[in-house]
Amino acid sequence: MTVTIAYLGPEGTYTQLAALAYSLNLEQHGGRSVNLLAFPSIPKAMQATAEGVTTLTIVPVENSTEGGVTTTLDTLWQLQQLKIHHAVVMPIRHGLLSQATDLSTIEAVFSHPQALSQCQRWLEHNLPQANLIATRSTTEALDHLADNSTVAAISSEWAAQLYNLPILVHNINDHSDNCTKFWVLKGDNRETNLVSGQYTSLAFSLPVNSPGALLKPLDVFARSGINLSRIESRPTKRSLGEYLFFVDLETDAHSQIGQQALNELLNCTESLVNFGTYDLITADPSLAAAKAKTQSTQALP
């Protein structure tokens, strides 16, 4: 059976690179062939899997420099129809692409806001004169480069190869260990829901006007000896000061300890959603880029 994976397009985004790396893993370990499908936004990619149009979706969830991808968390909570199948961590190296031969002639730099932020200090130091312009994806930024040597774009070096664009400066991210965690999501009603794994992700809201309410769920994890690898608050959107909490736990929700903790959580949260138990895969972007290269004649429009 062919697996279809939705991702934030167009072709050349970091999410596609992560999807290619994940496909390699699927093909090597499961012997399944994979088709990637580009969508114009993260919510639309997630919706495609919720509606059964694609088997899986891959979405960025957290970057080591910029933090949580709020659209992903908010959409996951709103849909309540998707489960996490895997987490994929991939190193992110940004290149500065431009037809210019000298930094001093560059007047504007286009990229996705996350990529601009991840290169903020480099840009302030090396291109103080340039306007920074946000685009919806790192690939969309490349549209502005054609026949114009006064602009630059930030994207992966893989995208530069894919679209045959010159790289002016390599590795411009402020933090050399910059990496992004992606989640591979599946529909809630698939047969694979009972997989075991090392991590479990939950979201919960707390009873309103209840001082110290956050302490109770955290105390459940501490007493159970469950390590919290991440906590992120998001507004409920009802009123200022009301939050949802997204937590990643280092535990299997199907284990005895995990099940007991989940039962206790029901007593101290207002609503609680279990996004599933899964394992984490480390992705190699250079292997993925090499895979893409062999397909590039078909893949490019």
Per CB under 8 A, residues contacting a copy of itself are 62-68, 70-71, 89, 113, 117, 132, 134-136, 174-175, 177, 179, 181, 211-212, 214-215, 218-219, 221-222, 225, 227-235, 237-241, 243
Task: Please report how close the Cβ of residue 26 comes to a copy of itself at its closest, in angstroms.
Answer: 23
Nearest in space to 23 (alpha carbons), one of 42, 9, 4 = 4
Task: Please report how close the Cβ of residue 242 comes to a copy of itself at its closest, in angstroms.
Answer: 8
Task: Please report how close the Cβ of residue 211 comes to a copy of itself at its closest, in angstroms.
Answer: 4
- Please say whether the beta carbons of 110 and 96 come within 8 A: no
- Grouping H, G, I as helix, E, B as strand and the rest as coil, residue 49 is helix
Nearer to a copy of itself, 55 or 248 (CB): 248
Task: Please report how close the Cβ of residue 229 comes to a copy of itself at its closest, in angstroms.
Answer: 6
Nearer to a copy of itself, 136 or 291 (CB): 136
Task: Please report how close the Cβ of residue 223 comes to a copy of itself at its closest, in angstroms.
Answer: 9
Which DSSP symbol is given to 92? -
Q: Angle at which helices 285-299 and 14-30 pack, to 10 degrees? A: 100
Nearer to a copy of itself, 67 or 166 (CB): 67
Nearer to a copy of itself, 89 or 195 (CB): 89
Task: Please report how close the Cβ of residue 282 comes to a copy of itself at its closest, in angstroms.
Answer: 11
Give CA–CA dist 39/47, Å, rounded: 10
Give CA–CA dist 126/132, Å, rounded: 13
Give CA–CA dist 191/197, Å, rounded: 16
Task: Please report how close the Cβ of residue 10 comes to a copy of itself at its closest, in angstroms.
Answer: 13
Nearer to a copy of itself, 231 or 290 (CB): 231
Nearer to a copy of itself, 55 or 178 (CB): 178
Tell me whether strands 271-282 and 199-205 are parallel, antiparallel or unpaired. antiparallel
Give CA–CA dist 115/262, Å, rounded: 37
Nearer to a copy of itself, 4 or 126 (CB): 126
> Residue 281: exposed, middle, or buried by beta-carbon count in 10 A (0-12, 13-18, 19+)?
middle
Give CA–CA dist 23/171, Å, rounded: 25
DSSP code per residue over 210-240? -TTTTHHHHHHHHHTT--EEEEEEEE-SSST
